[in-house]
Structure 1
Amino acid sequence: MILNHLKIILLSCLIVVKCLDVDPAKTKVFGLGLHPEKAVYPVRYFFIEAYDSAGIRLNHSVGEKAFSVQVEGDVDSGTYCRVWVQVLDRYDGSYIVRYRTYQTCHNMRINVLYLSQHVSDSPYKISEPVYPESCYCPEGTLEEWLTVAGCPASVPQVEEDLAPFPAVHFSEVLREAKDRYYRPAARSFCHYVVKTNEIYRHCYGQHVDFKMFMDNMLLSMARKMVLPDTEFIINLGDWPLVEKKQLPPIPVFSWCGSDDTADIVLPTYDITETTLEMMGRHDHNTCHLFGCSELVTPLSPLVLWDSPIEAAGLLARWGERVTLDMLSVQSNNAVPWSKKKPIAFWRGRDSRQERLDLISLARDHPDLFNVSLTNFFFFRDQEEQYGPKQKHVSFFEFFNYKYQINIDGTVAAYRLGYLLGGTGVVLKQDSSYYEHFYKQLKPNVHYLPFKRDLSDLVQKIEWARANDDAVLAMSKAGRQFVLENLMPKDIFCYHAVLLQKWSQRLTEKVVIRPGMDHVAREDNEKRFGSCQCHRLLGHDEL
């Protein structure tokens, strides 16, 4: 009896000690989501870092539900505004809090609680109106928005890409682009015009569905800022268009660049669209039907497409599991580093010879690899040799393994940012292709490089196994890179800086050309009422 009583006392003490691990007053809360009135994003987000009573930063999860966050406010009708909140555990003592507003919220209050106690400076009170993503309420000019949002004055990749084009006579560019690239069955591109903050376009080619991604980003930006009058061409295909050997080069925006081309690189349509649709209408509506733990967007890399060609076939499909984006990828896998399998993992389709070579290499070293092809398209005649194809695996389950292989598809594999944001370490193939952020990455700091022909991949995996602490540090550096460079704010800033710098180079007056389609913006959802932008008072709400 006495022994049982002592056990209860001991257990109670352990629970108290566990609770005292976190000091709500010393715990830090920070991020742009605490100032939602300053700049509108589809999703606002901020961070919690747990500290103990000695002021020491905790480096372990204190529980997925340790922190609760409430975002409250009201609308003019006197009812509560609709806000959807998620708290994402990063399993290192830090948490991402993200929320999406669906109405204009007044008198917003953000409560951050740990065991019913307010954390840090909670509650956070916002006196100005907080607008939803759908609200047309420009902050001011693009330059004014850049200042409010705290964007960098310049971006090295943008400066490098625009350097060959100090002055652009766009009529000549458009004429030359049509001469070089108008091959309807093989290539597709669109000419966009922004005039008085309205969007217009004319597309060339048979396969132009991917115009939706540029449409969506421009419309989102135009709701937040007054864009400069501008025009540009965007390539809708897999491969960069502007070969350096063909002179003179002409300026074309693309989602991927290469060492042999001179395209002006944008963030990929994938990372851009997941930024716009994060906690969006698809997720929210499906949440009420199926529950948020069983979701995926049709563009999610959970199904591991590598290019517009493959993704086009998935646009109408909904998948099975958690929606993947640059915030959710940092959560949703609680397997600690010490419990992850020290094996190199990869899934994907047959879009490059080296992917087939990877299968052969893995068969020679089954103790080092878990790799499989999930679809055959380019090498269907070799399926018997390199198959059988395997079912898709949830992207979050990739991180049950320590080593994540990133290998080119038709061009750069658009999963690299997501792999860096996860809890493994990336082994990246040397490649001539790149996304907008690749040149900021440092080999052997953010990822472990291996040769294009895979000849040293086995050696690199064996090195990783023998240097676990160094590899863990590399994994953490990759995650930190994502926090500093690939968050929603960073994607908007990159687009805004590029449009600003590009527009300054145009030498002609921008006009709406004959045959262009107007890309109309959608009205604010009627069920949520008018967004009532205070900046448009005295004017018709457009």
Structure 2
Amino acid sequence: MQEVRNSGSFTSLSSVVESFWEPGIISWRAEDTMRAAVFLLALALACICAAKKVNISGKKSIVYGPGLNPRIVSPARYVFVQAVDDKGKNYTSSPGSDAFRFTVVMKSDGRYSHLKTKVFDRGDGTYQCEYFFNTQPDQMHIEIRTKTGEVVGTKDRYELKNPEVESCVCPTTEEDFAKQYGCRESATQIDIDFAKFPSITQEMIDKAMEVLNEREASIVHYVFKNGKIYAKVHGKYEGFKQYADKMWLALARRVKLPDMEFLFNMGDWPQSNLSAQGLPVVSWGASNDTDDIVVPTYKVVLGTVFGTDLENMREMDGLSYKTSGGWTKKKNKMIWRGRDCNKMRVDFVDGVAAENSNLIDAQISRNHFDYYPTPEDRRKDKRLHAGKKVKRMAFEDYFKYKYILNLDGTVAAYRLSTLLAGDSVVFKHDSKWHEHFYADLEPFVHYIPLKDDLSDTMEQLKWARNHDKRVRKIVAQSRQFVRDHLSNEAVYCYYLRVAQRYRAAMAYKPTVRKGMGLEEVKQEQPKTACKCAPKPKKAKKAKKAAGKDEL
């Protein structure tokens, strides 16, 4: 037989085939089988090597995000890149954590400096760059390059003209703000909430105040007047007022707030129709049997707008992929952790989860910071002393599992928004409790639904394990939902739209009345010189010609 040698290039197919056979002999020998296998492997590798390698195209990759618009101002600012290959096709999985390099340069007082950035590979072909600045810049620009140095997008650099520092008070008109931030005209939950309150009178506010004070509810009485905020806190949970103030003050720095008077509930429990029947109360959450007007929770505000909460949904969008390494590397189990604040949670852990521990990892967590109101409360915690409470899990570690269970706590579990942002699928049970965005969520589109008693948990979990492709689509859709509906700018917009609808419903002009005890909630003095961007001028109304009627 001929000897086939590697001379630096692949031998022709005909010569290799001939080498397997001696003339006139049709028998196949064992050594021929081995050589044929080697040949087929070499042929496959040759085809792969011969195919044109696909690379990231900097020019075709897409740069976008609110961090490119100096008029969209928030403490945390974001720029995104959609990786595109040189054939013009979007990447839908990660081409590498170091695919892009972001540089944010600021000139202030004649000196240039590079701002600190956080860059996340989100694992779906997109990348997120987060940056902050608190000093007024004279000039500012963003440069994005591939790891080979190629310019990304359509510009060598993205200039930010007249960037405003978030702590600076630079309000614009409602119309201009809505245009710059891309605000939707309304939202499903806003329409539902205000359908119950076509008219809000001063008598309704006074009655609600009386009823809520009798119940010792924790509320803030707010009056917005001429762009200023006045408030008085009632009840024992005064500490939560700082979170409500924080968001309203942030909004007031960007847009002149409508004149309005309202009551803001700081407790977990909704108040309208519980302690203030048929009376307008603004809350962080509500239920099917209450009428509270809902705004994004303090967890959403802190985690999105300010980027300071541990459950930061923007960061979790990228950190989830970094933590897990991608879908195929996740544990093929359901995960849940939480406090024993209701019977449903405890029954699930001790029942379904315990009976199916090979598929479900569910445990009751220790109290946050091991806090108990009194030593007696700690002594009475039988589960703790029996060793049935586990250490709290780092939030990003949830995404090491494919399936995450979200269970109500005292009311709606405020973690849902952050769970939906990550690259695992969320199981959510039917519930009467809701936050501001629940009305726009769809089962089997953004999450996998469960019955309110969790009786179908194993059935739905088995469905998910058998429909991996469908589940991954749900994950992609839930992440996009968070990016569209729970972004920084979307949260600002939601608060503004609620304020506008509330003002439209008011049947009186609010004033800071004597005896209300309201004090002005003042903006903190910025620690930098401020330079507000030019705002659009109001169009002058045409004067009516004397002696003529309008047609």
Q: Classify the TM-score, shorter chain.
A: 0.7 to 0.9
Residue aligned with 1:210, SS:
helix
- Cα gap change, 1:62/1:158 in structure 2, threshold over 3 Å: closer, same or farther? same
C-alpha offsets along residues 376-417 of structure 1, whole Å, 9 cap, x if unaligned? 679955516985110111111111100000000000000111
Please say if residues 103 and 114 of structure 2, whose CA atoms lie closer than 8 Å, have aligned partners that are also in contact.
no
**Partner deviation per Cα, 1:204-262 (whole Å, 9 max, x = no partner):** 11222101111101111111111121121110101111127975x11100001100100
Q: Does structure 2 conserve the Cα–Cα contact (< 8 Å) formed by 1:240 and 1:261?
A: yes
Aligned partner letter, 1:33: G
> Are residues 1:338 and 2:328 paired?
yes
CA distance in 2, matches of 1:431, 1:213: 26
1:257 to 263, 277, 286: 286
Tell me the CA shift for residue 148 of structure 1.
2.2
Instruction: Tell me how far apart the structure 2 counterparts of residues 337 and 236 of structure 1 sit (CA, whole Å).
Output: 38
> In the alignment, is the contact (CA less than 8 A) between 2:425 and 2:471 conserved in 1?
yes
Shift of 1:519: 1.0
Q: Which moved more, 1:112-121 or 1:17-26?
A: 17-26
Match of residue 306 from structure 1: none
Check whether the contact 1:58–1:93 (CA below 8 A) recurs between aligned residues: yes
Question: How many Å separate the matches in 2 of 1:451 and 1:156?
Answer: 23
Q: Secondary structure at the match of 2:105?
A: strand
> Any idea what SS the aligned residue of 2:111 has?
coil
CA separation of 1:127 and 1:403: change in aligned 2, threshold 3 A: closer
1:521 matched to which residue of 2?
523
SS in 1 for 2:335: strand
1:328 counterpart = 2:316: yes
Cα distance in 2 between the residues matched to 1:56 and 1:148: 30
For 1:374, the equivalent position in structure 2 comes to: 365
Which consecutive residues of structure 1, in runs of 5 or more, have no partner in the other structure?
7-13, 279-296, 302-323, 537-542
Q: In the alignment, what sits opposite 1:481?
A: 481
Give the Cα separation in 1 of the matches to 2:444 and 2:261. Answer: 40
Which residue pairs with 2:189 in the alignment? 157
What is aligned with 1:311? none
Q: How far has the Cα of 1:24 moved from its partner?
A: 1.0
| Aligned mates of 1:18, 1:518 — CA distance in 2 | 67
Deviation at 1:277, TM superposition (A): 2.4
SS at match of 1:159: helix
Q: Give the equivalent residue in structure 2 for 1:92.
A: 124
Residue in 2 aligned with 1:312? none
Instruction: Sort the Cα spacing of 1:396 and 1:251 in 2 relative to 1 into closer, same or farther, 3 A.
Output: same
| Partner Cα separation in structure 2 for residue 390 and residue 15 of structure 1 | 51
- RMSD (CA atoms): 2.7
User: Per the alignment, do residues 18 and 162 of structure 1 end up closer, same or farther by CA in structure 2, a change over 3 Å counting?
Assistant: farther
Find the counterpart in structure 1 of residue 447 from structure 2: 447
Q: Which amino acid aligns with 1:523?
A: Q
Match for residue 187 of structure 1 among 217, 220, 240: 217
Tell me if structure 1 keeps the 8 A contact 2:272–2:290. yes
1:449 aligned counterpart, secondary structure: strand
Q: Which residue of 1 aligns with 2:34?
A: none
Determine if the alignment matches structure 1 residue 358 to structure 2 residue 360: no
Q: Is the 8 A contact 1:82 1:101 kept in 2?
A: no
Query: What's the CA shift for 1:63?
Result: 2.2
Counterpart of 1:326 in 2: which secondary structure?
Answer: helix
- In the other structure, the counterpart of 1:41 is 74
Please state if 1:218 is matched with 2:245. Answer: no
**Aligned pairs, number:** 479
Gaps of 5+ in 2: 1-5, 10-47, 536-551
Q: Which residue of 2 aligns with 1:234?
A: 264
Structure 1 counterpart of 2:529: 530
Report SS of the residue matched to 1:504: helix
| Counterpart mapping for 1:389-468 below 5 A | 389-468=389-468
Partner residue in 2 for 1:277: 306
Q: Give the % identical residues.
A: 35
Question: How big is each residue's C-alpha offset from its partner over 1:153-211, in whole Å with a ceiling of 9 and x where there is no partner?
Answer: 122211210112122112x1232113321147x52101111122111101111222101
DSSP-derived class of the 1:182 partner: helix
CA distance in 2 between partners of 1:200 and 1:241 (Å)? 22
- Map 1:162-181 to 2 at 5 A: 162-170=194-202, 172-181=203-212
Q: Provide the C-alpha distance between the structure 1 equivalents of 2:442 and 2:466, rounded to a whole number of angstroms.
A: 21
Q: 1:243 to 1:55 in 2, by over 3 A?
A: same
Alpha-carbon separation, structure 1, partners of 2:57 and 2:324: 23
Alpha-carbon distance in structure 1 between the residues aligned to 2:475 and 2:235? 42
CA distance, structure 2, for counterparts of residue 182 and residue 127 of structure 1: 49
| Shift, 1:352, TM fit | 1.2
Mapping for residues 116-127 of structure 1, pairs under 5 Å: 116-126=149-159
- CA gap 1:461/1:534 in 2 versus in 1, 3 angstroms: closer
1:205 paired residue number: 235
Q: Deviations along 1:257-304, whole A, 9 cap, x unmatched?
A: 1001000001011111223322xxxxxxxxxxxxxxxxxx5x534xxx
d(CA) in 1 for partners of 2:83, 2:52: 13
The alignment's TM-score, normalised by the length of structure 1, stands at 0.83
Question: For residues 244 and 356 of structure 1, what CA distance do their matches in structure 2 show?
Answer: 26
